[in-house]
């Protein structure tokens, strides 16, 4: 999968590496700011109230 993406990236090795860094950063940002906040309520490792 990553080999296939690497081959699709344009330019020489340097440019490919730069693209790889940018794409990874975008993926992390989307996860951190969009996906994780949606998933977080499903994780109940920090339930703090006492209730019936």
Partner 1 sequence: MRALLRTVGELSVTAGLILMLFCAYLLWGTGAYTQSQQLLLQRELEERNAGRLARIELGEAVALLRIPKLGRGYRYAVVEGVDAEHLKKGPGHDPASAPPGKVGNFVVSGHRTTYAAPFNRLDELERDDEIIVEAREARYTYRVTSQDIVEPDEVEVLAPVPGKPDIRPIRAFITLSTCHPEYSAAQRLIVYGVLKKTELRKE
Output the CA–CA distances (angstroms, integers) from residue 9 to 1, 15, 38, 44, in the order listed: 13, 8, 31, 40
- Indicate the SS3 state at residue 38: helix
Measured CA to CA, the distance from residue 13 to residue 25 in angstroms comes to: 18
Binding mask 13-52 for partner 1 (x = CB under 8 A): ---------------x--xx---x--xxx-xxxxxxxxxx
- Give the shortest CB-5-to-partner 1 separation in angstroms: 10
2 binds partner 1, rule: CB under 8 A: yes
* Residues near partner 1 (CB under 8 A): 1-3, 28, 31-32, 36, 39-41, 43-52
């Amino acid at each position: 999968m990553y080999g296939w993406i690497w081959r699709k990236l344009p330019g020489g090795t340097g440019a490919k590496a730069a693209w790889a860094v940018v794409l990874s950063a975008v993926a992390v940002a989307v996860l951190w700011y969009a996906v994780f906040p949606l998933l977080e309520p499903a994780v109940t490792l920090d339930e703090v109230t006492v209730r019936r």
